[in-house]
Amino acid sequence: MQEHIRALIVIILMALIGFAIAKKLAPKGIMPAEISRWRNLWLAVVIAAFVAHNFWIYLILSGIFIFLSTTKDQNKMALFFILLFVIPPLEIQVPGFGLVNYLFALNHPRFITLIVLLPAALAISQKNNFKFTKIWADKFLLLYILLIFGLGLRDTTLTDALRLLFYSFTDIFLPYFVASRAIKDLSNMRTVLYAFVTSAVVLAFIAIFESGKQWLLYNQLGVALGTGDSIGNYLGRSGGLRAIASLGHPIILGYFMTIAIGFYLYLSSTIQNKSIKKIGAILLGLGLFVPLSRGPWVGALAMFVTYLALGPSPIKKLGTLFIVGIFSLPILAMLPGGGKVMELIPFVGQTEKGNIEYREQLFENALIVIKNNLFFGSSNYLETPEMQAMIQGEGIVDVVNTYLSVALDTGIVGLSLFVGVFLAVILGVRKKLKRIKDYRQQQHLLGRSLLAIIVSMMVTIATVSSIATVAIIYWSILGIGVAYTRIPEGEL
């Protein structure tokens, strides 16, 4: 039996278990029938991917499945989060039919965005009275997209610039726009957040299996579909395999799990069964651990600190967190295997110290390049001597910092607009949160979770470039932050 077919069998089994657990975690108001529809569609799409043996056939089959299962009143943002992570971000070029070399690159996330979010965006634009550019976050985002297009005209051909504009529309605008406009009440919001957590629970089982069996289940899918070589390298750290699941890279899996944990901080308040609540927390915690990626761990710490700081008795709780953290280190060191875990802890362990040194050198060299093209960056920054000095063993310059990548490509103007979207959403959420005095109210818990998640994202993307689904995730979350500010206060 071919490896990818054996992997498919394991993935189906893990998914069935994951959806069964996720159904137990469902907040009030989400019908079991809806979760079953999500599960069935998830399975149909993943089976299509593994048995199609051709990416185009997979797109046709999954498109049919999605079309047949989608209802008019369905929560499209929730469906988007269920489908976004079914398979890795495999990519193929849409042919230009003799007019151009190719029209655009189509990958799984972009396909899901077009088939699920584009119709939703068109429907919203016809009846939504919350016009785009009404708030500062919208304005910063629109200016950022226009800047990318304008700099594309400067640095490349019109065809390439139009291609960049299309990518900005699908990967930036659509996730943000639909999330910020389609979610109108707390019930819609819970469904969306729960869909994200459901995907995380399913992928946590897959990731835990990968770590335990030392087998990357999606590794051969690209070969089977004819899109290229294997997906994700077998990367080790401290003697363990770094799990990837369908996210394409361990650090992206850790980033994804951190956000899911942030949503779970809110959703867990609606779960009555304490045992089930603990199982959900343990699964997501293991899902964060098995990628063995330290950047998301730092992001998770920033998230918990922010969440506690915004709640009742913040000094007491932060002090408790600090004391528990300090005293847990020597205890951890005495446990079997604890020494290996200690070596992985950021700022404590010494594992792959060269990785940290590379990031420090990258920051220093990138600043030199940014100063030379201060306002609008350069498309040729990788060819500069400073960046050429950062070439790794794979023969590439890995700009493992989203802020540096944005600044190098679009200058401080682009970086200011990019960060401006984050800050505008943070201020909007914080402003609403300050009006809600009762810490126990659902909207206060939700606002705390969202602010903590956004802070976590801002920390984590300083350790990873916006590859694969990284950007789609943070633009979606920022849209959710905007949606939160629009939910009527007092709604339960």
Tokens of residue 151, six digits: 């700099």
As given in the structure block, the two tokens for residue 240 are 């363990």
* pLDDT confidence of residue 333: 65
CA 318 to chain centre: 27
Q: Rounded mean pLDDT of the chain?
A: 91
Average pLDDT over residues 343-366: 77
Residues 407-431 have a mean pLDDT of 97
Q: What is the pLDDT of residue 115?
A: 96
- The lowest-confidence range among 49-53, 106-110, 391-395 is 391-395
pLDDT bin (cut points 50, 70, 90) of residue 314 is: confident
- For 307, residues 6+ apart whose C-beta sits below 8 A from its C-beta are 262, 265, 448, 449, 451, 452
Residue with the larger pLDDT of the pair 29 and 21: 21
Which pTM value belongs to this model? 0.95
Rounded CA separation 458/425 (Å)? 12
More confident residue, 130 or 482: 482
**SS3 state of residue 345:** coil
What SS3 state is found at 142? helix
Residue 196 has pLDDT above 70, yes or no: yes
Confidence class of residue 28 from pLDDT cuts 50, 70 and 90? Answer: confident
Give me the amino acid identity at 336. P
Please say if the pLDDT value at position 85 is more than 70. Answer: yes
Q: Counting beta carbons within 10 angstroms of the beta carbon of residue 392, is it exposed (0 to 12), middle (13 to 18) or buried (19 or more)?
A: exposed
User: What's the token pair of residue 324?
Assistant: 């528990």
Distance CA 465, CA 467 (A): 6
Residue 345 in this model has a pLDDT that exceeds 90: no
From CA 394, how far away is CA 383, in angstroms rounded? 16
Amino acid identity, position 163: R
At residue 33, does pLDDT exceed 70?
yes
d(CA 110, CA 55): 14
Residue-wise over 477-492: b if at least 16 C-beta within 10 A, else e?
bbbbbbbbbebeeeee
d(CA 118, CA 170): 8
Mean pLDDT calculated for residue range 432-439: 88
pLDDT one-digit tens code per residue, 69-78: 877 668 999 9
Locate 335 and state its tokens: 């446990």
Query: Percentage helix, strand, coil, to 5, in the chain?
Result: 70, 5, 25
Alpha helices in 169-293 (DSSP H): 174-182, 186-213, 221-225, 250-267, 274-289
Percent residues over pLDDT 70 in the chain:
93
**223-268 pLDDT, tens digit each:** 899 887 667 788 888 788 999 999 999 999 999 999 999 999 999 9
**Continuous segment of H or E residues that includes residue 98:** none
pLDDT at 351: 64
> Using 50, 70 and 90 to split pLDDT, how confident is the model at 355?
confident
Residue with tokens 């003697």: 239
Average pLDDT over residues 345-364: 76
Give the per-residue pLDDT at 133: 86
Hey, what's the torsion of the CAs at 216, 217, 218, 220, to 10 degrees?
A: 80
Q: How far apart are CA 480 and CA 182, in angstroms?
A: 9
Most confident of 133-137, 167-171, 341-345: 167-171
- Residue 348 φ/ψ, nearest 5 degrees: -120, -55
Query: pLDDT per residue over 318-343, tens digit each?
Result: 888 888 888 777 776 666 766 666 66
Q: CA 347 from chain center: how many Å?
A: 25
* Higher-confidence position of 352 and 113: 113
Please classify residue 97 by burial: count the beta carbons closer than 10 Å to its beta carbon, then call 0-12 exposed, 13-18 middle and 19+ buried: exposed
Q: Taking residues 190-219, what's their average pLDDT?
A: 97
Q: 3-18, pLDDT tens digit by residue?
A: 889 999 999 999 999 9
232 CB-contact burial (10 Å; exposed 0-12 / middle 13-18 / buried 19+): buried
The number of residues in the chain equals 492
CA triple 115-162-156, angle to 5 deg: 140
pLDDT digits (tens, 9 = 90+) for 294-308: 999 999 999 999 999
pLDDT at position 156 is: 80
Q: What angle do CA 76, 35, 491 make, to 5 degrees?
A: 65
Buried b (16+ CB within 10 A) or exposed e, 24-50: ebbbeebeeebbebbbebbbbbbbbbb
Report the pLDDT value the prediction gives residue 249, as an integer from 0 to 100.
Answer: 93
- At residue 343, the pLDDT reads 66
Based on DSSP, count helices (H) and strands (E) in the chain, helices before strands. 21, 4
Q: What are phi and psi of 467, to 5 degrees?
A: -95, 165
Class of residue 455 by CB neighbours under 10 A (exposed 0-12, middle 13-18, buried 19+)? buried
- Write the DSSP symbol of residue 437: -
pLDDT of 395 reads 76
Residue type at position 45:
V
